[in-house]
A and B are shown apart, each in its own frame.
Chain A
Amino acid sequence: MALTGVQIFKLLPKTNCKKCGFPTCLAFAMKLAQGGVELSACPDVSEEAKQTLGEASAPPIRAFTLGTGEKAVKIGGETVLFRHEKKFVNPCALAVNIKDDLGEEEIADIAAEVANSEIDRVGQKLRIDAISIEYASGDSAKYEAVVKLAAEKAPEAAIILNCKDAAAVEAAVKAIAGRKPLIYCATDATAGEMANIAKANSVPLAACADGPEALSALTEKIKALGVEDIVLDSGAKTAKEIIEDNTRIRRSALKKNFKPLGYPVINFVLRDDPVYEASIASVAIAKYASIVILSSIEKWKNLALFTLRQNLYTDPQVPMQVEQKVYDIGEASADSPLMITTNFSLTYFIVSGEIENSKVPSRLAVMDCEGLSVLTAWAAGKFTASKIAQFIKESGVESRVSNKELILPGQVAILSGSLEDKLEGWKVTVGPREANAIPTFLKGRAA
């Protein structure tokens, strides 16, 4: 059972040494009780306290790292069922499945696609995180060679050994031990052998059983054999099985503190049609998967799934922001209109999208207002005449326009007079109140 902060505090050294990063042992204990920190952050904790606290203080869903190096991804560690309650913590890893009986060239190509999958979106670098290599050939020497090849061609991706044959897995794990591959998977029949391999090589192990109940029995068995980093597969294949099983698993872990299901979840969403597969992948991404295995990673599909993952894992309390600068939209020239807005990403996307729709090449000055929208930023004193004037002067845009005219969002028309006073030599024009009126506005001016 979970212990309260005060119960935990009694077991701590009570030295207030601050080595854990908290000002007092009590503060650390309180955070520990909420699952926001791990006991290992306290260097002086006694063995006795470790034992007592071990189970109780562990976060409800275990978090660990998939792969190694800079691009390794942390999975698990989730604390809520709904993203409005609190941020979803660790974005799910996206992986592509390759069969080992494809040609060598094709395997190398797919691995290279993974290595080159990175896309920048709103300042975040997003990519395919892992490769799952499926043992389809029945030839363990071939499997080992393919695993090595894929690992070499995608040097930073995490590797998932999709293989139920213990001997083949063991050889492959040893071949790329430094990459810390995830073994997928142990079943009830192979739990002993697979757990030994995972433990001996310090790699995570996926447990696969039919439904959450059988799965919980299997993870207890694996844990008893000394494997801590476990991934769950309830056998869910259809969208319904995915949403229902994943909901049951996450609720068990978070609401019942049921440890045997307190691990990250893996879902295979393989479908023949890639657009349809993207739809089923969205079900897994939104509904609690920590690893989603795809059958293909076309660029358009990656972009769409990365975007969904980024949207859903955004902190609901911290607005997404874009970089402060003057953006060119279309083939902007010195004669193009210059508009200004704030750096709330949604505001930027909507305004820049409508400018694009107008097909009138324009410049959009995006001002840092800590991610607030226009009206909110104005109300909070961050989008004022003097701050806008300072931003425009410092941006250097003046030297790039032939006509010193600034178009202000209609919502803050009230600023136009004082802004004209502060921006000497500039004309301030009031633009539309709503972004959807921008195309008409810009086309009207261009005519």
Chain B
Amino acid sequence: MAYVVPKESFNGKVLSLDFGKGDKAVSIGGENTLPFLSFEGEVPNRPLVACEIQDCPPDDWPDTVKNVYKDVSADPVTWAGYCRDELKAKAIALRLVSTHPDRGDRSAEDAAKTIKDVLAAVDVPLIILGSNHIEKDADVLVAAAGAASGYNCIIGKAQEGNYKTIVAAALAHNHKLIAMSELDINLAKQLNILITQMGFDKEKLITDPMCSGLGYGLEYTYSVMERIRLAGLAQNDPTMQPPILGDVGMYVWKVKETVASEPDVPDWGSLENRSIAWETITATSMLLAGTNLLIMRHPAAIGNVEKTIDELM
């Protein structure tokens, strides 16, 4: 029996987008094949890993990752500088945690100032994230989009309950936008349609189908991502072709496996290695399912994922 290479060619293609300014700008997406299958298609851009920082000290992060940043995390400008200089971050994701009503309730104006300070000091492409509070994000991200005008950032996340004001702000200030829905391909598609109907260019959109950590629903995220990719490529559905975001760090660095010490759970072995492996494996799985952009926390996990991407490209 003769072997024939079982190649598949798709009509659809993942849209590509860039963010950031000047020679630091980066591109993601653009492939016309399932993840990393270069034998049958083009994979022009490698997945990008952004380093996550926040606008207040990360008191709620487990020690393994919190301690890495203990000398720099008091101030977001210092922290961003550390990511650029020491970690050679290709992109930074700044989460405006302290604007959450339960986490300090800082004002949209405060957030805008933080954004301006970080952008003035650090020229790495920036992803600006709200605190995931539907109403507050609508205010905060509008102010943040204005503060970052001209910097070609990614802002997010626009969700069903607040997308209108955030889309308008991204449109006005020419940013890319993350559209987030909760683990359902139909909701992801619907939100992308609603956003593009407002006149927002689908080529500036990023789909976040909601991440989940290893052992905590990873299989749901994995399959929703695979289905989005197949819909975009095989069925050539334009609403399913934006690059995919995997917001890994925040879903990993709270589960028991990244928190419980070895004396508490001797069967689980070293906490340090376990928690770094947890973030690494979650991120690698997301890449295999179709993620183009990852947001991660621990430098060692980022290092492992970058090396894995080197091998996969």
Contact = CB atoms under 8 A, between A and B. Distances in A.
The answer to whether A and B belong to the same complex is yes
Interface of A: 82-84, 119, 121, 212-213, 216-217, 220, 238-240, 243-244, 247-248, 251-252, 255-256, 258-261, 273-276, 278-280, 282-283, 286-287, 298-305, 307-308, 310-312, 314, 316, 346, 349-350, 353, 356-357, 436-437, 440
Contact of B269 (A255, A261, A303): A303
12 contacts: A216-B1, A244-B39, A251-B6, A276-B308, A279-B308, A282-B281, A299-B270, A300-B269, A308-B218, A316-B223, A346-B217, A357-B60
B39 A84 contact: no
A275 B280 contact: yes
B218 A283 contact: no
A286 B214 contact: no
B270 A298 contact: yes
Given A252-B6, A278-B281, A286 B304 contact: no
B254 interface: yes
A286 B35 CA distance: 12
A405 B270 CA distance: 39
A17 to B, nearest CB: 35
B233 to A, nearest CB: 12
Given A212-B5, A349-B215, 15 more contacts: A82-B226, A121-B215, A220-B1, A240-B313, A274-B273, A275-B273, A286-B288, A300-B270, A300-B274, A303-B257, A303-B274, A304-B257, A304-B277, A356-B259, A436-B132
Contacts of B5: 212-213, 248
B38 interface: yes
Given A83-B222, A357-B254, A278 B277 contact: yes
Interface string B257-279: 10100000001111101101110
Given A300-B268, A349-B216, A243 B36 contact: yes
B82 interface: no
Contacts of A261: 3
Given A256-B6, A258-B1, A243 B268 contact: no
B214 A304 contact: yes
B224 to A, nearest CB: 8
A261 B6 CA distance: 12
A353 B223 contact: no
B267 A279 contact: no
Nearest to A84: B223
Contacts of A310: 215
List 8 tightest A-B contacts by C-beta distance, closest first.
Answer: A299-B269, A300-B274, A300-B269, A239-B311, A251-B6, A84-B223, A307-B215, A311-B219
Interface of B: 1, 3-6, 8, 34-39, 60, 102, 132, 212, 214-220, 222-223, 226-227, 230, 254-257, 259, 267-271, 273-274, 276-278, 280-281, 284-285, 288, 300, 304-305, 307-308, 311-313
A282 B285 contact: yes
Given A248-B6, A299-B268, A243 B222 contact: no
B189 to A, nearest CB: 15
Contacts of A248: 5-6, 39
B131 to A, nearest CB: 11
A276 B281 contact: no
Contacts of B311: 238-240, 280
A282 B283 CA distance: 10
A173 B227 CA distance: 45
A244 B36 contact: yes
Contact of B216 (A252, A256, A276, A346): A346
B257 to A, nearest CB: 7
B113 to A, nearest CB: 26
A130 to B, nearest CB: 20
Contacts of B267: 119, 299, 303
A353 B256 contact: yes
A189 B36 CA distance: 33
Nearest to A310: B215
Contacts of B230: 82
Contacts of A346: 212, 216-217, 220
A261 B4 CA distance: 11
A260 B276 CA distance: 40
Contacts of B223: 82-84, 316
Given A303-B257, A316-B219, A275 B276 contact: yes
Contact of A311 (B3, B36, B39, B222): B222
A15 B222 CA distance: 46
Given A299-B267, A346-B217, A356-B256, A240 B3 contact: no
A258 to B, nearest CB: 7
Contacts of B308: 239, 276, 279-280, 283
Contacts of B218: 308, 311
A172 B132 CA distance: 60
A269 to B, nearest CB: 10
A40 B116 CA distance: 72
Contacts of B39: 244, 248
A311 B307 CA distance: 24
B285 A243 contact: no
Nearest to B266: A299
A258 B130 CA distance: 51
A273 B277 CA distance: 11
